[in-house]
Structure 1
């Protein structure tokens, strides 16, 4: 998989993944123009989207009739150090899946998905494990 992220001015970027384009920017309080979600928000979107996808896939595999799934992701961000002078970091995420079933008689199958879906979410499991990131900067000629 590969994505490309191109600068559009200020601190905004357009990301391209397959045939999709997404705006990335910071809110004005972080010196951006607020033209799109921030990279940190996209990380939370990725975690929430992956968890929702994994649960929906499990439900489909076991014929669990789902009426709706809402994933809520709360992100904790803090400056490090006692004097709070270190750079801002994501220090934790709390997620909640709110699932509405079409038929409440399927609670055993629902419980099966609740117990198993998390291990199949590639994004969340990778974030939990800590992803090594190789960063290289080259100058275009």
Structure 2
């Protein structure tokens, strides 16, 4: 993977339902806010972050297994995300617990991978270290071109 940057577009469909578009013909994803604010019919941003971390950690572990010639069968990840209010009363994701359950053919070699794979997950490590986030808002008058 030699990608140095990528772009994602998020566009409001209605209410708090948004469509997320990716590049190169990848399937779009609908997102929403939970009830009562949104429809609650689609994943919200916290779900997507948890899913991204679970996928990235699973893929990193699988890659380590492959490099170490550990054959993996099924692999399941369960991600529990804790949501709490901060001192200002704002909801925040305060803890994410990932549990990976891979099926492997060699437990001893798998243990070596388990000791090192976490460092290779770009999503989890980026969240852990803090991501530099820039926000720019460019409003336009409604109905203008």
TM-score by length of 2: 0.87
> Normalized per residue, which structure has more helix?
1
Residues 88-113 of structure 1: per-residue CA shift (max 9 Å, x gap): 01111111111112x2xx22210111
**Per-residue CA shift, 1:35-70, capped at 9, x if unaligned?**
310011100001101000101111111221111111
Q: What residue number does 1:90 align with?
A: 93
Report 1:103-114 matches (<5 A): 103=105, 106-114=106-114
| Match in the other structure for 2:3 | none
Distance, in Å, in 2 between the alignment partners of 1:58 and 1:89 is: 32
In angstroms, what is the RMSD of aligned CA positions?
1.3
Task: Provide the secondary structure at the position in 2 that maps to 1:20.
Answer: coil
| 2:119 corresponds to 1:119 | yes
Unaligned runs of 5+ in 1: none
- Match of residue 40, structure 2, among 34, 42, 45: 34
Give runs of aligned pairs for residues 26-105 of structure 1, distance below 5 A: 26-29=33-36, 31-81=37-87, 86-101=89-104, 103=105
Q: Which residue of 1 aligns with 2:136?
A: 136
Give how far 1:122 is off.
Answer: 0.1
Unpaired runs of 5+ residues, structure 2, are 1-5
1:69-128, Cα deviation, whole Å (9 max, x unpaired): 1111111111112xxx52101111111111112x2xx22210111011100000000000
TM-score between both structures, scaled by the size of structure 1: 0.89
C-alpha distance in structure 1 between counterparts of 2:131 and 2:94, whole Å: 15
Q: Distance in 2 between matches of 1:26 and 1:3?
A: 18
SS of match in other structure, 2:28: strand
